[in-house]
């Protein structure tokens, strides 16, 4: 597993990197890779998402090949795109989603934040609101997209949508929940460490 830090990158650029990597992983021309990054402000929506969940007709929403509904990405949010070959790992997307949720739960705990799953919904919540969104796609069982963890309060970007198709969905961040100032690099380091260990435990070949 290779981990690449892309810094702050436009969505279209990251999307193209994902597609190329997915092709290369499928053909064994590249190792499975975790991309970590922040996006410039952007709204995306999954394959079956309802565009009526955009509450502002003036915003541009990009439809992409992942599950889930509409969400917002912007600086202060740590985005992770694992490019993983699930054909080597049981072809189980549900298990993969639970793996990503567990990654966020454990990372949040490293900063003293209690978080949890909500039955029937994909993502990670605290008692105050949704902490992380998760949406994945797969091309011939090679995954794309992944998770978006709110590190800094960037909640204004969510005010123009029903996040993940949920009306009146409260949002929160690691900073708010931990009541401390966090550096994105701190959180990124914990995600890297947690991902490498959990990947071996949850998704062995």
Q: List beta partners, residue 51.
A: none
Burial 98-137 (b: 16+ CB within 10 A, else e): ebbbbbbbbbbebbebebebeeeebbbbbeebbbbbbbbb
**C-alpha pair distances (Å), 137 with each of 51, 65, 86, 117:** 19, 6, 11, 20
164 belongs to the catalytic site: yes
Residue 38 burial (10 A CB sphere; 0-12, 13-18, 19+)? buried
Reading the block at residue 48, the tokens are 């079956």
Catalytic-labelled residue, pool 164, 174, 191, 203: 164
Strands of the sheet containing 61-63, edge to edge, are: 61-63, 42-45, 71-73
Q: Tokens for 179?
A: 């009541």
Sign of CA dihedral 96, 98, 102, 108: positive
Q: How far apart are CA 14 and CA 6, in angstroms?
A: 8
Active site residues: 164
């Amino acid at each position: 597993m290779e981990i690449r830090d892309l810094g702050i990158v436009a969505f279209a650029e990251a999307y193209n990197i994902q597609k190329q990597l997915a092709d290369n992983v499928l053909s064994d021309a590249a190792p499975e890779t975790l991309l970590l990054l922040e996006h410039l402000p952007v709204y995306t929506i999954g394959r079956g998402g309802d565009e009526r969940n955009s509450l502002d007709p003036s915003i541009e929403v990009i439809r992409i090949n992942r599950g889930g509904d509409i969400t917002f990405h912007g600086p202060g949010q740590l985005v992770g795109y694992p490019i993983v070959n699930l054909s080597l790992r049981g072809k189980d997307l549900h298990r993969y989603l639970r793996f990503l949720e567990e990654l966020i739960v454990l990372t949040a705990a490293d900063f003293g934040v209690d978080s949890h799953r909500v039955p029937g919904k994909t993502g990670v919540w605290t008692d105050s609101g949704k902490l992380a969104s998760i949406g994945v796609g797969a091309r011939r069982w090679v995954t794309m997209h992944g998770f978006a963890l709110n590190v800094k309060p960037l909640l204004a970007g969510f005010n123009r949508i029903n996040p993940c198709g949920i009306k009146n969905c409260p949002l929160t961040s690691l900073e708010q929940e931990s009541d401390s100032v966090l550096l994105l690099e701190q959180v990124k380091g914990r995600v890297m460490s947690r991902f490498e260990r959990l990947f071996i435990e949850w998704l062995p070949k």
